[in-house]
Amino acid sequence: MAHKFVIKKSSNGEYVASFEYNGEKIFWTETYKSKSSAQSAIDSIKKNGPMAEVHDAT
């Protein structure tokens, strides 16, 4: 699969979720104290992302 969500544990013991495409990190979340909170962030992105409007700030 060329794209995926990844949850990793940071050096301070907290969790961060990221979205990767072809091995490149496209975006990442803030850090969370629990793995379930990082998963909730992913679930929210998957649910709400397709409906998000595009804002061109150029």
Report yes or no on 1 lying in a domain: yes
Within a domain: 25: yes
CA torsion 52-36-29-45 (nearest 10°) is -10
Statement: residue 1 has pLDDT above 70: no
Complete edge-to-edge strand list for the sheet that includes strand 3-9: 3-9, 15-21, 24-32
- Write down the pLDDT at residue 50: 85
* 48 domain-assigned: no
> Is residue 17's pLDDT more than 90?
yes
Q: Is there a domain that residue 55 lies in?
A: no
Separation of alpha carbons 39 and 45, rounded Å: 10
- Residue 52, pLDDT above cutoff 80: yes
Domain range for 19? 1-32
* 15 neighbors 34 (Cβ within 8 angstroms): yes
Asked, for residue 19, whether it belongs to a domain, the answer is yes
Residue 49 lies in a domain: no
Specify if 50 maps to a domain.
no
The share of the chain scoring above pLDDT 70, in percent, equals 98
37 in any annotated domain = no
On the question of pLDDT at 55 being above 80, the answer is yes
Give the angle subtended at the CA of 4 by the CAs of 24 and 56, to the nearest 5°. Answer: 65
Calculate the average pLDDT of the chain.
Answer: 94
For the chain, how many structural domains are there in total? 1
